[in-house]
Structure 1
Amino acid sequence: MESHVDNILNDLKKDDFQAYLLTQFTNVEYISGYRPTSFAFCIIKDDPIIYASKMDMELANNNSSIEVIEYESFDAIVEDLKCQGIRNMAIEPTLPFSTYVRFRDDFKIDSKTYIDKQRMIKTSDEIEKIQMATEIAQKSFLQLDILNNQNTEKEVAFDLVRLMIENGADKESFDTIVTSGANSSLPHAIPDAKTLDQPILIDWGAVFEGYCSDNTRTMVYTERQQEIWDIVAEAHDKAIKAARPDIKCCEVDKVARDIITEYGYGDKFIHSTGHSLGLDIHETPGFSTRDETVIERGMVITVEPGIYLEGEFGVRLEDTIAISKRGKVIGDLPLDIS
């Protein structure tokens, strides 16, 4: 975490800023090891500091690698910074407007993505945690015995979350999606109180020591469903093979999108091919048509092409890859669950 701070200090010096203000919980955790449960102001400067709420002081003191002091008032923070000679600062792009307006009268402010750029590249320790989260999630999925399950979508989702926690997860990494039949054409369907229909699409992930996993599998039953599944599987596999350092993220998206388009379903692939993950389930960069970020070693990105036939069904297949010489799939769950 010291290196994270040092890298940001170097960015600040290059751009002639004196400090960098963070309030997003996962950004504070990334820098310090302490994830707030209430508000916190993390200010990266030569001697970084976190202003934490009173209810968080014990937690912060136990976990933070950065000095923590108790928040007294907003005016006290401003006065502290002024006394240290700080006149300008960078802010994270996600800083709430209500917080920004309280600083703008006293400091020259500009939005910078220093923290996002840092978080794009995962350390070996971060990748190990994502691998562990994936192992927990995949083990739990296999324990469901989906093909013989007569429970409702809601019950299956509940059981999957319970199993992940029993197997060592902190929690689910997002609201687990269990959907079936015609509802599977909704990419972010909410589990319903109905018995599983066909096909069955499950999108799930676990959190392990703060780090997320993400997988999707679709179980198909008819010749028509299998036809669409095969197309999505081809797009999934070829996009993973295409992912490597020094090409742009949008090029990987194009590989998956071109395959689905060639089969006549281009307009049914209605989201990007993938997103980075880490402390948050959605991070940057992503495999999308507009993302021209050059892929680097250490990036961890999902590959999740899909085809959604409105009123009929949908198919999505998703794995997470870690970039080294090429993209390597994290986990060993087969695509075909039958």
Structure 2
Amino acid sequence: MNEKKLKSILEKIHDKNYDCMILTQFNNIRYISNYAPTSFAICLLKDDPIILTSSMDKELAEKTSEIPVEEFKSFNELKKLFEKDNFKKIAIESSISISLFRKIEGNWDLNIEDFLEKERMIKSKDEITKLEKAAGISHKSFKELNPMKKREDGFTEWELAYELGYLLRKNGAEKESFETIIATGTNSSLPHARTQNKKLQTPILMDWGCKAEGYCSDTTRTFVYSEKQEEIFDIVFEAHNKAIKSVKAGIKSCEIDKIARSIISEYGYEKNFIHSTGHSLGLDIHEIPSISKKDETILEKNMVITIEPGIYLEGNFGVRIEDTIIVGKNKAEIIGNLPYSI
């Protein structure tokens, strides 16, 4: 599979007359080689690709990488390699740091390209299996957590997040795919609220995920109690369902966002939906495309995205519902079957 990925990316590199592409982003290196760096590493994508890694990581790289590995010596040695291979035009990632950019500058043309990010948009069967595994662990752990019972027992947000982290690992996760959000009471009106050391209040908004074999899961559930909270929940749920029903190969990302946003607007809460409708995910928790107003990416079969509309009433409460879905030719498939209320 990595050989197929490499061939596809090399074709893109050659099509734009690059001699090489430099990768430093850890998950891009992992995607192309199966080696997950833990310290400094550079991958040179060319006809005879190579990974240069630190001495600390060399043994790990040699055991896992499907691309030949050598120890990184210095940037002077790297530049000598460029000169030896007569590099004139080199592609780099947009995520490269300014300090690293300056270290590799020389008598060659450096240009930012998103070859890897675009290649990673469409998931292979193996990648989808890993995403499904991560979601399965995440959902199983959530059911075992039983947050409603924890509220009755007087748990704090911190304690709930800590126990969820334990259950995720117990059930096979490597770690959380991002810092778990447990936002209760008025704190739930903050989309990226910080989990606090306070007793669980109502509503309870939980946004969590884990990594399995490097791939991420991402789910949000909100548990409501009052009549007003239920009213907002129903609106968000309608937007969530209609957005998912609209997803299929050939639709633009922005069109899905528009569908979710139009439902919420019909009920007068347009100004309270303050983020995009979703995003892609894979080795990273946020990948392209985004499901947002300005993203005109046309979805293709086997892209994997989240749908997560929300309404946030400042100083009062918020509701968000999120599922991860696989784009199909004619419809979408939700990963997992986690209930929306318990």
Does the alignment reach a TM-score above 0.5? yes
* 1:175 aligned residue: 179
* 1:312 aligned residue: 316
Offset of residue 103 of structure 1: 2.2
* 1:31 aligned residue: 32
Q: Indicate the percent of aligned positions where both proteins have the same amino acid.
A: 51
* 2:334 aligned residue: 329
User: Separation in 2 of the partners of 1:6 and 1:17?
Assistant: 14
1:249-305 residue CA offsets vs partner (Å, 9 max, x unmatched): 000000000000110000000000001000000000011000000000110000000
User: Separation in 1 of the partners of 2:98 and 2:259?
Assistant: 38
Residue 229 (str. 1) matches residue 233 (str. 2): yes
Aligned to 1:320, what secondary structure does the other structure show?
Answer: strand
Offset of residue 102 of structure 1: 2.1
User: Separation in 1 of the partners of 2:8 and 2:250?
Assistant: 22
Unaligned runs of 5+ in 2: none
- Using the TM superposition, name which of 245-254 and 102-111 deviates more: 102-111
Runs of 4+ in structure 1 deviating by more than 4 angstroms, as ranges, are none
Pick the aligned partner of 2:302 from 292, 298, 301. 298
User: Separation in 1 of the partners of 2:58 and 2:40?
Assistant: 11
Aligned to 1:286, what secondary structure does the other structure show?
Answer: strand
Q: Is this contact kept in 1: 2:177–2:209, CA < 8 A?
A: yes
* Residue type of the alignment partner of 1:8: I
User: Separation in 1 of the partners of 2:107 and 2:97?
Assistant: 17
Aligned to 1:143, what secondary structure does the other structure show?
Answer: helix
* 1:115 aligned residue: 116
* 1:217 aligned residue: 221
- Using the TM superposition, name which of 237-246 and 82-91 deviates more: 82-91
- Using the TM superposition, name which of 90-99 and 171-180 deviates more: 90-99
* Residue type of the alignment partner of 1:302: T
* Residue type of the alignment partner of 1:329: I
Offset of residue 105 of structure 1: 2.3
Aligned to 2:9, what secondary structure does the other structure show?
Answer: helix
User: Separation in 1 of the partners of 2:81 and 2:106?
Assistant: 15
Offset of residue 109 of structure 1: 1.0
Residue 68 (str. 1) matches residue 69 (str. 2): yes
Offset of residue 104 of structure 1: 2.5
Offset of residue 207 of structure 1: 0.4
Aligned to 2:312, what secondary structure does the other structure show?
Answer: strand
Offset of residue 4 of structure 1: 1.2
Residue 264 (str. 1) matches residue 268 (str. 2): yes
* 1:18 aligned residue: 19
User: Separation in 2 of the partners of 1:191 and 1:246?
Assistant: 39
* 2:248 aligned residue: 244
What are the within-5 Å matches in structure 2 for residues 31-50 of structure 1?
A: 31-50=32-51
Aligned to 1:62, what secondary structure does the other structure show?
Answer: helix
Residue 274 (str. 1) matches residue 278 (str. 2): yes
Aligned to 2:276, what secondary structure does the other structure show?
Answer: coil
Q: CA RMSD in A?
A: 0.7
Unaligned runs of 5+ in 1: none
- Using the TM superposition, name which of 294-303 and 77-86 deviates more: 77-86
User: Separation in 1 of the partners of 2:9 and 2:248?
Assistant: 26
Q: Is this contact kept in 1: 2:75–2:104, CA < 8 A?
A: no
Give the paired residue count.
337
